[in-house]
Structure 1
Amino acid sequence: MPLPLYLLAVAVFAMGTSEFMLAGLLPNIASDLDVTVGTTGMLTSAFAIGMIVGAPLMAGLARNWPGRSSLLRFVLVFMAAHVVGAATSSFPVLMVTRVVAALAYAGFLAVALTTATTLVSPDKKGRALAVLLSGTTVATVAGVPGGSVLGTLFGWRATFWAVAALCLPAAIGIVKGIPTRRVQKVAAGRPALRSELAQLKRPRLLLIMLLGAMVNAATFAGFTFLAPVVTDTAGLGELWISVALVLFGAGSFAGVTVAGRLSDQHPGPVIAVGGPLLFIGWPALAVLADKPAALLALVFVQGALSFALGGTLITRVLYEAAAAPTMAGAYATAALNVGAAVGPLIAATTLGTAAGNLGPLWASGLLVLVALLVAFPLRGVIAAGRSSEVVQ
């Protein structure tokens, strides 16, 4: 894989760390800014909404910019939002910075997904996507726990400053490493925006986007509420929350790496094998959650299966949206973040039921089951190889 892909992954690492880091910082932010923890939780929702809206909006705006300039602008805006967020003492201002950061991240990811496919041969989109998304998985392994420790030792603002600092090498890498000629070549022959948006009328593209969103919803439903399962159900100390998150992130990295190897040529086996295993895994995790060894092992497995299946489906989005070269990344980003926003909301409704802390895990299993039931009658279409890249 070309070096520029890894430079893009560095930026995704910084941005992915910011997306997930608030889970360990909300109490400190609430205390410092004199608001409730529940109110502070709106920062997470604001970021998710900004990602959903920002993916198509920012990708459309960036159509008239050279690819490298678009990526650089989004990184600099993202960095500026964190500088302001780190310095402010106003919760409304902090809320605005989260929305701005999400818009920048969504725009960056949408353009980066499209740019990544221009850096490799047409039959390696899955591998390129795996490298790019490895930035997110590494963020869950190292960035989020590291940010939590930094926030505990030096205050939540230090974490915001650290994310801003991570943007500097990412920006330099974009300037030095991302070529302009290939992106400009794509831009020169691109279709009109109306034509690209018309691709959303294609049932097959919408189906795969829906399935990708549902799998990601299941992932975030279980991941978001993992902490009380570790401490209350398994009876482990708070330190083990970070261990569980690291294991989930390590599994995610393994899963997205495998998907990158297989999703271009062999998406069918990944979906056919990974889907049922992922469905079985969530209820198994709920049933065995009171056994620490089983819990930690299954957290790793579910991270791997979630990202292997989700990464494969998102790769299929890029293939199906091949006739929308500047918006394909936005469609993939929107599908991911619809799932990220909806999953925790569904999971939260289960906390007040008899299932208690285990409710989100059962909800994850149900979401995967629904996705499998939707996908099964159309499995041949969904599992199509590179031939599906040809627009019908």
Structure 2
Amino acid sequence: MPVAVYVLGLSVFSLGTSEFMLSGLLPPIAEDMGVTIPQAGLLISAFAIGMVVGAPLLAVATLRLPRRTTLIALITLFGLGQVAGALAPSYGFLFAARIVAALACAGFWAVGAAVAIAMVPVGSRARAMAVMIGGLSIANVLGVPAGAFLGEHFGWRSAFWAVAAASAVALAGILALIPRIPLPAERPALSQELRIYRDRQVWLAIAITALAAGGVFCAFSYLAPLLTDVAGLDSGTVPTVLALFGLGALAGTTLGGRVADGRLFTVLLIGITASTLFLVALALLAGSAAAAVTLSFLIGFSAFFTAPALNARMFNLAGAAPTLAGATTTAAFNLGNTGGPWLGGTVIDADLGFAATAWAGAAMTVAALGLTALSLRLSSRSRVVAEGSGAATPAPVPSAAAAPRP
């Protein structure tokens, strides 16, 4: 695996820490800014919505720009967004800073994923994506707990300064190690990239990704009160359990990335089925502290076990539209990260209890499982028809050594 791919993973660590660290910083932010905790929570929603909107928009806006230059500009803008957040004099200013950071984060994910795919052979796509997603997993293991620690001991603004420093390190790595990736002789056209949306398999992939991610985060977003109010754990143990979720995510990403290149649908079916079973078990056994802690690790593992396959699936379908493929996958994941917590909050507002968020999450993953089976059936049918008619199956995109660079 090229070292440049690991540099992208380091960059994603910074992005992921910023995206998720506010879950441990809402009370001090609300107190400092003079707003309620639900109002402070809108800062999390703003980031997710910014990711959904920003990924395709920035992918289109930077389509004909040099990839390395685009990455440098986006990680710089992201770092400046963290500095603006650390210096924010008001809630409105902080809200705007979060949106700017989210747009830069979305664009970096989309372009960075396309760059990572371009630097490896077709048979290593899922492994390359696993490295990038691994940065997100490590952010959950180290970055988010570290942000909570800094917020508790040095104020919430110190967490923003820390992410800004990590972004500067990522920028240095990009400048030093990301090679110049020349644009193809024929510049990519927006109309050509948009053709991917004519494929119903692309829309199935979007729905599967959003439902699979949303089902897990429907429960994970409310894991802290479930652990304390239902499982009876002390609030001081919550960061440790969250870190266990992150460790499970890291292990799942590593294994899923190694297996998915050769058995993509197998990974999807096994991973989503496991997530469904673990969520049902959490709903049934939430009153047991040991079960809740163990299942937190297992849900992290199963959720991120499928992540490399979900990303690779979209790139395999997109063919000649890698940048928009990366943007579409990013938007799909964040649709899930927005819709899942919303559904969980709706369940809680209906007085069904924190454990019911796991039931709601399981319903989403069951839907994702059904769509995965449908996608596999359509894919198999298309292959049989192509073979029966004597038509050649589409050739895979050539490896990075021969393929036009995005």
Instruction: Indicate whether the TM-score tops 0.5.
Output: yes
Q: Over residues 292-320 of structure 1, what are the superposed CA-to-partner deviations in whole Å (9 max), with x where a residue is unaligned?
A: 11111111111110111233122201111
Letter of the 2:194 counterpart: L
Query: Following TM superposition, by how much is the alpha carbon of 1:278 offset from its aligned partner in structure 2, in angstroms?
Result: 1.5
C-alpha distance 196-351 of structure 1, shift in aligned 2 (>3 A): same
| Match in the other structure for 2:106 | 106
Moved more, 352-361 or 74-83: 352-361
| Match in the other structure for 1:164 | 164
Q: Over residues 259-282 of structure 1, what are the superposed CA-to-partner deviations in whole Å (9 max), with x where a residue is unaligned?
A: 111111111221232222221110
| Match in the other structure for 1:118 | 118
| Match in the other structure for 1:346 | 343
Distance in 2 between the 1:15 and 1:56 partners?
A: 17
**2:133 touches 2:307 (CA, 8 Å); kept in 1?**
no
- Helix, strand or coil: the match of 1:357? coil
C-alpha distance 389-318 of structure 1, shift in aligned 2 (>3 A): farther
Distance in 2 between the 1:42 and 1:12 partners?
A: 23
Distance in 2 between the 1:162 and 1:283 partners?
A: 37
Distance in 2 between the 1:176 and 1:243 partners?
A: 35
2:220 is aligned with 1:223? yes
| Match in the other structure for 1:27 | 27
**1:59 touches 1:326 (CA, 8 Å); kept in 2?**
yes
Which structure 1 segments of 5+ residues have no match?
none
| Match in the other structure for 2:334 | 337
Query: Following TM superposition, by how much is the alpha carbon of 1:290 offset from its aligned partner in structure 2, in angstroms?
Result: 1.4
| Match in the other structure for 1:184 | 182
| TM-score relative to the length of structure 1 | 0.95
2:247 is aligned with 1:250? yes
2:317 is aligned with 1:320? yes
- Helix, strand or coil: the match of 1:327? helix
**1:320 touches 1:388 (CA, 8 Å); kept in 2?**
no
Q: Over residues 78-116 of structure 1, what are the superposed CA-to-partner deviations in whole Å (9 max), with x where a residue is unaligned?
A: 111111111122110100000000000000000000000
| Superposition pairs of residues 290-301 of structure 1, within 5 angstroms | 290-301=287-298
| Match in the other structure for 1:51 | 51
**2:269 touches 2:369 (CA, 8 Å); kept in 1?**
no
Which structure 2 segments of 5+ residues have no match?
384-392, 398-406
Distance in 1 between the 2:259 and 2:395 partners?
A: 16
2:73 is aligned with 1:73? yes
Q: Over residues 236-278 of structure 1, what are the superposed CA-to-partner deviations in whole Å (9 max), with x where a residue is unaligned?
A: 1112111111011111111111111111111122123222222
| Match in the other structure for 2:39 | 39
Distance in 1 between the 2:170 and 2:247 partners?
A: 22
Query: Following TM superposition, by how much is the alpha carbon of 1:388 offset from its aligned partner in structure 2, in angstroms?
Result: 7.2
Distance in 1 between the 2:218 and 2:394 partners?
A: 31
- Helix, strand or coil: the match of 2:62? helix
Question: Once the two structures are aligned, what percentage of the paired residues are identical?
Answer: 40
Distance in 2 between the 1:188 and 1:108 partners?
A: 24
C-alpha distance 370-69 of structure 1, shift in aligned 2 (>3 A): same
Letter of the 2:296 counterpart: V
**2:271 touches 2:306 (CA, 8 Å); kept in 1?**
yes
Query: Following TM superposition, by how much is the alpha carbon of 1:188 offset from its aligned partner in structure 2, in angstroms?
Result: 3.3
Q: Over residues 351-383 of structure 1, what are the superposed CA-to-partner deviations in whole Å (9 max), with x where a residue is unaligned?
A: 033530112111110101111223323324468
2:203 is aligned with 1:209? no
Letter of the 2:234 counterpart: G
Q: Over residues 33-68 of structure 1, what are the superposed CA-to-partner deviations in whole Å (9 max), with x where a residue is unaligned?
A: 111111111111110111001001111111222111
Query: Following TM superposition, by how much is the alpha carbon of 1:209 offset from its aligned partner in structure 2, in angstroms?
Result: 1.4
Letter of the 2:265 counterpart: G
**1:126 touches 1:315 (CA, 8 Å); kept in 2?**
yes
Number of aligned positions between the proteins: 387
| Match in the other structure for 1:272 | 269
Query: Following TM superposition, by how much is the alpha carbon of 1:208 offset from its aligned partner in structure 2, in angstroms?
Result: 1.0
- Helix, strand or coil: the match of 1:290? coil
- Helix, strand or coil: the match of 1:350? helix
Q: Over residues 208-259 of structure 1, what are the superposed CA-to-partner deviations in whole Å (9 max), with x where a residue is unaligned?
A: 1110111011121111110001111111111211111101111111111111
- Helix, strand or coil: the match of 2:323? coil
- Helix, strand or coil: the match of 2:272? helix
Query: Following TM superposition, by how much is the alpha carbon of 1:190 offset from its aligned partner in structure 2, in angstroms?
Result: 4.8
Q: Over residues 12-31 of structure 1, what are the superposed CA-to-partner deviations in whole Å (9 max), with x where a residue is unaligned?
A: 00110000000011110111
Identify the match of residue 232 of structure 2 among 223, 232, 235.
235
Distance in 1 between the 2:210 and 2:379 partners?
A: 14
Letter of the 2:324 counterpart: M
Q: What stretches of structure 1 move > 3 A for 4+ residues in a row?
A: 187-191, 380-385, 387-391
C-alpha distance 200-226 of structure 1, shift in aligned 2 (>3 A): same
Query: Following TM superposition, by how much is the alpha carbon of 1:205 offset from its aligned partner in structure 2, in angstroms?
Result: 1.1
**2:75 touches 2:105 (CA, 8 Å); kept in 1?**
yes
C-alpha distance 271-209 of structure 1, shift in aligned 2 (>3 A): same
**1:218 touches 1:365 (CA, 8 Å); kept in 2?**
yes
- Helix, strand or coil: the match of 2:350? coil
- Helix, strand or coil: the match of 2:182? helix
| Match in the other structure for 1:198 | 195
Distance in 1 between the 2:171 and 2:55 partners?
A: 20
Letter of the 2:103 counterpart: L
